[in-house]
Amino acid sequence: MIGRLNHVAIAVPDLTAAADQYRNTLGAKVGAPQDEPDHGVTVVFIELPNTKIELLYPLGENSPIMGFLEKNPAGGIHHICYEVEDILAARDRLKAAGARVLGSGEPKIGAHGKPVLFLHPKDFNGCLVELEQV
């Protein structure tokens, strides 16, 4: 059901410093910051030959990333994103297998302009999983 790894998301306390580190220290191709108000984050994508890194920074006081950074002030891996061909079929299959879909269970449009869903980390070995339709 799941396809390729789309990205690994890292919550960061300083978006500019993190982007500069990837650009200047690691020599990576770093995109421009983009606000995602529906998700409460500002993101920067790091392009790698085989996947992407998504840097996450809180957008507003009600950002879901705020709580993560309070618990992990230095930042850390927030979630992994897998591609799926049909997000509704994937959702229905996962729910039938007992997995919990976060939020309303309906896909939202993600940072790549494609439908996304998140799966409860307690159902996936402590890892928050994002599914993105390709």
pLDDT one-digit tens code per residue, 103-124: 999 999 999 999 999 999 999 9
> pLDDT value at position 61?
87
Q: Where are the domains of the chain?
A: 5-133
Written as one letter, the residue type at 134 is V
Which candidate in 36, 83, 85, 130 is catalytic?
A: 130
* pLDDT tens digits, 12-46: 999 999 999 999 999 999 999 999 998 999 999 99
pLDDT digits (tens, 9 = 90+) for 45-63: 999 999 999 999 999 989 9
For domain 5-133, the question of CATH label 3.10.180.10 is answered with: yes
In terms of DSSP bridges, do strands 128-133 and 76-84 run parallel, antiparallel, or are they unpaired? parallel
Catalytic, 130? Answer yes
